[in-house]
Homo-oligomer: A and B are copies of this chain.
């Protein structure tokens, strides 16, 4: 089939090609092509005539045909495990914005943490000879799964999540620092029994954030009760389930550090249903600083990550890498910032006063 030529087997207007433009002007295809691409070799008046004819004929450039010979598609892939998560929605928006102002299009893929979907996407990108890829790898992604990327020298920047042993560009957040600060803040407020919701070991972000939590606890010379380190889905539901488990533990924690804001907000939601008041009955901190964290009714203290910056840096780095494939591998780490709202309470006294007699085994200063 010949494309829209044969709409309804009646109309059969062949597409207008560069050749047609050339013919109507009595010049060669080459001249028209050069003119379109702004090559300084074609004379000004010639270029003008060509542009005018293109307009009159309604000629439309066929970038696919061009890509066949140039090998450049000006399309890149963007795969994240869940762009329904506001964090990624924002990062992706920033990426798309930068790419489109560089006249590139973005193929989107929501992998849903499925390496199969991810592999399928990468294979499709290679088939289409995409110029590059920005990837927040699904859990379980390793170097072996990324073979197509290396085999094809597909310029790739990893977003947020790193891959062990990967010699790929990376743009992310200083997750260890973020959670260390958040945890330290709670400790500074006087909390001693602190739990962590979410995280786990299956990706670098989770490990880094967990390790930030542990590091701060160690620095504060506090023991971590393993029963208060609760793995859960990276979603509000996950947080809601996890908080119930945490609170059932005796004695309950006075503060909870959450792997992400989604989890923290789920925890807030769960606490609300239990009749507990975050910031008064229990402290909660999150990480990401998604918009919902700053509502009047959430006021979530959280590690703020500049999502726009991450997206922009990632897009720019990819563009750079595409332009200069031999550039040494780069790692760009954005510094997070703790924003203190009300979910952690203002004063440890709230908690101290409240919990001391219930399980006040600690009289230290």
Contacts and interface: CB of A to CB of B under 8 A. Distances in A.
Contacts of A70: 1, 3
Contacts of A171: none
Given A64-B64, A153-B7, A268-B296, A83 B89 contact: yes
B297 A4 contact: no
B1 A75 contact: no
Interface in A78-134: 78, 83-84, 86, 89-90, 92-93, 96-97, 100, 103, 105-110, 117, 120-121, 124, 126-129
Contacts of A60: 126-127, 152
A67 interface: yes
Interface stretch (A172-180, A195-203, A270-278, A346-354): A270-278
Interface string A323-353: 0011000000000000000000000000000
Each complex incorporates copies of this chain amounting to 2
Most B-side CB within 10 Å, residue of A129, A272, A296, A298: A296
A358 B107 CA distance: 58
A31 interface: no
B84 A96 contact: no
A68 interface: yes
B93 A4 contact: no
Contacts of A236: 291, 295
Ranked 10 nearest A-B pairs via Cβ: A3-B71, A272-B296, A269-B296, A108-B108, A269-B295, A273-B296, A272-B297, A63-B127, A84-B89, A105-B107
Given A64-B67, A269-B296, 15 more contacts: A1-B72, A8-B326, A61-B127, A63-B127, A64-B64, A64-B129, A75-B107, A78-B108, A96-B110, A97-B110, A105-B128, A106-B107, A266-B295, A270-B296, A272-B295
29 contacts: A3-B70, A3-B72, A3-B129, A4-B71, A4-B325, A7-B325, A8-B325, A60-B127, A60-B152, A62-B127, A63-B128, A64-B64, A64-B73, A64-B128, A78-B108, A83-B93, A86-B89, A92-B108, A100-B117, A100-B120, A105-B121, A106-B107, A107-B107, A268-B295, A271-B296, A272-B295, A272-B296, A273-B296, A297-B297
Interface of A: 1-4, 7-8, 58, 60-65, 67-68, 70-73, 75, 78, 83-84, 86, 89-90, 92-93, 96-97, 100, 103, 105-110, 117, 120-121, 124, 126-129, 151-153, 236, 240, 265-266, 268-273, 291-292, 295-298, 325-326
